[in-house]
Chains A and B, each alone.
Chain A
Amino acid sequence: MTRSLLLTGLRDLVRRPLHSGLMVLGVALGVAVVVAIDLANTSALRGFARSTEAITGRATHQVVGGPSGLAQDVLRRIRIEGGLRASAPVVEGYVTALDLDRQPLRVLGLDVLSEGPFRAHLGGRSLADPGFERLFVDEAAVFVGAALADRYGLSLGRPLRVRVQDRVETLTVRGIIRSADAREAASLDGLLFMDVGRAQRLLKMGDRITRVDLVASDDEAERIAALLPAGVRLVSAREQAETVAQLTEAFQLNLTALSLLALVVGMFLIYNTVMFSVVQRRAVLGTLRLLGVTGEQVFALVLLETATASALGVLLGVGLGWVLGQEAVRLVTRTINDLYYVLSVTGAPLTAASVGKGVALGLGAGVLAAVAPALEAARVEPVEALRPSRLESRARRVVPGVALGGALLAVAGGILMMLAGRSLALSFAGLFAIVLGLALVAPLATVASMAVAGPIGGRLVGTLGRLAARTVTRSVSRTGVAIAALAVAVSVTIGVGLMIESFRSTVENWLDLSLRADVFISAPSPGGTRRTPVVSPDIPQRVVAVPGVEDVETFRRVRVASPLGEVQLAVADPRRPRSAAFYRFAEGEPDEVWERVRAGAVLVSEPFAFRHRLPEAGGTVQLQTDRGLRSFPVAGVFYDYATESGLVLLSSNVYERFWDDRAISSLGVYVAPGHAIEEVVADLRAALAGTALQVTPNRALRAGALEVFDRTFAVTQALRLLAVIVAFIGVWSALMALQVERTRELATLEVLGLGPRQMWGLTLLETGLMGTVAGLLALPLGWLLAVILVTVINVRSFGWTMRLEADPWLFVQALAVSVVAAALASVYPLIRLRRRSLAAALRSE
Chain B
Amino acid sequence: MTSRRAVVVALATGLALAAVLAPTASDRTEPAVSRLELGPGLDPAAFARATAVQEYHLPADHGPHLEFQTEWWYYTGNLTASDGRRFGFQLTFFRRGLAPGEPSDGLGLTTHQVYFAHLAITDVAARSHVFAERWSRGAGGLAGARGTPFAVWLEGWRVESRRADGSAVRLVARDGPLLLDLELEARKPLVRHGEQGLSPKSDEPGNASHYIGYTRLSARGRLAASSGAEPVSGDAWFDHEWSTSALGAGAVGWDWFSLQLQDGRELMYFQIRREDGGVEAVSGGTLVDAAGDTRRLPADAVSLTVLDRWTSPQTGATYPSRWRLRVPGEDLDLLVAPWIPAQEMRTSFVYWEGAVRVSGTRAGRPLEGHGYVELTGYARSMQGVF
Contacts and interface: CB of A to CB of B under 8 A. Distances in A.
A205 interface: yes
Contacts of A462: none
Contact of A80 (B107, B108, B155): B155
A132 B99 CA distance: 12
B41 A197 contact: no
A181 B229 CA distance: 46
B96 to A, nearest CB: 6
Interface residues of B, number: 55
B34 A120 contact: yes
A311 interface: yes
A175 interface: yes
A137 B155 contact: no
B177 interface: no
A131 B41 contact: yes
A263 B112 CA distance: 62
Contact of B37 (A175, A184, A200, A201): A175
B36 A130 contact: no
Contacts of A205: 108
A120 B108 CA distance: 25
A311 B137 contact: no
Contact of A131 (B1, B10, B40, B139): B40
Contact of A121 (B34, B40, B99, B141): B34
Nearest to A122: B36
B8 interface: no
Contacts of B23: 349-350
Contact of A133 (B14, B42, B156): B42
Given A2-B3, A80-B155, A315-B17, A137 B99 contact: yes
Contacts of A128: 384-385
Nearest to B143: A113
Contacts of A126: 348
B308 to A, nearest CB: 32
A514 B112 CA distance: 50
A156 B39 contact: yes
B21 interface: yes
Given A89-B109, A174-B39, A1 B140 contact: no
Interface string B37-64: 1111110000000000000000000000
Nearest to B141: A76
Interface in A74-91: 75-76, 79-80, 83, 85, 89
Contacts of B17: 315
Given A3-B2, A350-B23, A351-B24, A197 B108 contact: yes
Contacts of A780: none
B359 to A, nearest CB: 39
Nearest to A322: B21
A72 interface: yes
A635 B258 CA distance: 77
Interface stretch (A352-360, A623-631, A836-844): A352-360
A196 interface: yes
A126 to B, nearest CB: 7
Interface string B123-151: 00000000000111101111000000000
A177 B156 contact: no
A89 B111 CA distance: 14
Contacts of A89: 109, 140
A143 B34 CA distance: 14
A132 B38 contact: yes
Contacts of B291: none
Contacts of B40: 130-131
A146 to B, nearest CB: 8
Contact of A181 (B14, B24, B32): B32
Contacts of B114: 113, 127, 136
A350 B142 contact: no
Interface string A10-38: 00000000000000000000000000000
B318 to A, nearest CB: 23
A111 B109 contact: yes
A211 interface: no
A156 B39 CA distance: 6
A80 B137 CA distance: 14
Interface residues of A, number: 73
A198 B103 CA distance: 10
B172 to A, nearest CB: 12
A490 interface: no
A226 interface: no
B18 A355 contact: yes
Residue of B27, B36, B156 most packed against chain A (CB within 10 A): B36
B314 interface: no
B36 A350 contact: no
B36 to A, nearest CB: 6
Contact of B140 (A72, A83, A354, A356): A72
A89 B270 CA distance: 41
Given A72-B140, A127-B114, A197-B110, A179 B34 contact: yes
Contact of A177 (B7, B29, B34): B34
A69 to B, nearest CB: 12
A468 B109 CA distance: 85
A413 B230 CA distance: 79
A113 B136 contact: yes
A179 B29 CA distance: 12
A181 B99 CA distance: 34
B302 interface: no
A137 B98 contact: yes
Given A157-B39, A181-B32, A318 B3 contact: no
A75 B34 contact: no
Given A80-B155, A133-B42, A311-B10, A178 B108 contact: no
Interface in B221-274: none
Interface string A162-190: 00000000000011111111111010000
Contacts of A75: 140, 142
B362 to A, nearest CB: 43
Contacts of A349: 23-24, 26
A845 interface: no
B33 A180 contact: yes
Nearest to A195: B110
A242 interface: no
A678 interface: no
A120 B29 CA distance: 14
Contacts of B142: 75-76, 79-80
A401 interface: no
Contacts of A137: 42, 98-99, 112
Interface string B63-100: 00000000000000000000000000000000010110
A156 B40 CA distance: 9
Nearest to A351: B24
B365 interface: no
Interface string A133-163: 1101100000100000000000011000000
Nearest to A77: B141
A182 B26 contact: yes
B136 to A, nearest CB: 6
Given A111-B137, A184-B34, A350-B23, A197 B109 contact: yes
B36 A351 contact: no
A807 interface: no
A73 interface: yes
A207 interface: yes
A73 B32 contact: no
Given A75-B140, A136-B99, 13 more contacts: A6-B3, A137-B42, A156-B38, A174-B39, A180-B32, A200-B110, A206-B107, A311-B10, A322-B21, A350-B24, A354-B22, A355-B21, A356-B18
**Closest 10 interchain pairs by CB?**
A130-B41, A197-B110, A131-B38, A180-B32, A197-B109, A133-B98, A156-B39, A200-B108, A181-B32, A176-B37
23 contacts: A79-B155, A80-B155, A80-B156, A85-B134, A85-B155, A113-B135, A121-B36, A122-B36, A127-B98, A127-B114, A130-B38, A131-B41, A136-B99, A143-B36, A156-B37, A177-B37, A180-B30, A200-B107, A200-B110, A201-B108, A304-B3, A351-B22, A355-B22
